[in-house]
Amino acid sequence: MLLLVGLGNPGPDYAGHRHNIGFMAVDAIAARHGLGPFRSKFQAQVADGRIGGPGGGPGGDEKVLLLKPQTFMNLSGQAVGEAARFHKLTPAQVIVFHDELDLAPGKVKVKTGGGAAGHNGLRSLDAHLGNAYRRVRLGIGHPGDKARVHGHVLSSFAKADRDWLTPLLDAVADHVPLLVAGRDSDFMSKVAQATRPPKPEKSAKTDAPPKGESAPAPPQPAAPAAETSLGQALLKALRRS
């Protein structure tokens, strides 16, 4: 059994915040693999089911418990620790989806262990679980100024962000079987491929003249009819003189 945790803050006021991208990822996984409905347990919203191997879907061979702590971000470890102890899970059986300031928007990295890097949700998990769990770091970008970080993570995604956010959540949900199977590198590669912007189309090139020949001169526009008639009249007048 694996515990798949999404980090965020509960309630509609926080639902669209960058800090809640972990909740969004878990919701996308539940929808994609037919898990749920969510119910209240372990100070969290939980849903369970099975996820198959790569390419699999509902009815797969790995039991998972999806969990969204309702304790607010700073106390996330309370809910995760309670669920892990109840199911006798080790940190190696826990996968946490969370927002990552140090990754560009839409980028994904998976790592095991490490520090909290100022993330209060991870700091709480470390206190209740240790740090040997897997982290799926979902890039939200840095505002560029440390003083603006708090407002950045606790503000909603802009409409323009949907261009990368929706494909990212879809790709995470589609390829989570690789993560469940322990194929972290393959998971990152597949998500990167699925979210890569399309290459711009090459503009059509005009045919170059054969080597040694100059390009033909562009055709000259015909003189307006009035000017042609005037020129002919002048020529006739000159001939008569």
Q: Which residues are catalytic?
A: 19
Query: Rounded distance, CA 114 to CA 50, Å?
Result: 28
- The sign one gets for the Cα dihedral 65, 68, 74, 78 is negative
Q: Which residues contact 141 (CB under 8 A, 6 or more apart)?
A: 101, 103, 104, 105
Strands (E), the chain: 2-6, 39-41, 44-51, 62-69, 94-100, 108-112, 134-139
Listed residue (84, 93, 67) closest to 127, CA to CA: 84
Please name the residue that has the structure tokens 């061979």.
61
